[in-house]
Amino acid sequence: QVQLVQSGAEVKKPGASVKVSCKASGYTFTDHYIHWVRQAPGQGLEWIGWIKPNNGATNYAQNFQDWVTMTRDTSISTAYMELTRLRSDDTALYYCARGPLWPRFDSWGQGTLVTVSS
């Protein structure tokens, strides 16, 4: 069955960077986009961007363009999202999700909690 397994929780200081991984299994990794979504505590869902695994193309939400980088390693069916210059309001649960180009997410990772605190 389709599974997306994310890396574990992270605690970072303001100004630091974090890299979250998302390992896919149960399907052909290069056949579907990987999107990243975040959810701050008690808040709604926020779309961050997508990566197209077969060629590495990316597209980021305007709010994240200057400080997010999405990459992938097709040899291990894993996508990555790196956030730089972290601030306290970046504290959130970060999800990866499988979909086509448009946001139709039929499978989600378990979420990675990133806490930014001095």
Partner 1 sequence: QSALTQPASVSGSPGQSITISCTGASSDVGGYNYVSWYQQHPGKAPRLMIYDVSNRPSGVSNRFSGSKSGNTASLTISGLQAEDEAHYYCSSYTSSARGVFGGGTNLTVL
Interface pick for partner 1 out of 18, 20, 37, 79 (rule CB under 8 A): 37
- The Cα 63–Cα 92 span in angstroms is 15
Residue 111 near residue 7, CB atoms below 8 Å: no
Binding mask 83-102 for partner 1 (x = CB under 8 A): ------------x-----xx
Among 10, 69, 91, 108, binds partner 1 (CB under 8 A): 108
What is d(CA 36, CA 47) in angstroms, rounded to the nearest whole number? 6
Instruction: Candidates 8-16, 19-27, 46-54, 66-74: pick the segment binding partner 1 (CB under 8 A).
Output: 46-54
Judged by CB under 8 A, how many residues of this single chain contact partner 1? 23
How far from the centroid of its chain's Cα atoms is residue 14's Cα?
Answer: 19
What's the CA gap between 35 and 49, in Å, rounded?
6
Binding site for partner 1 (CB under 8 A): 35, 37, 44-47, 49-50, 59-62, 95, 101-106, 108-111
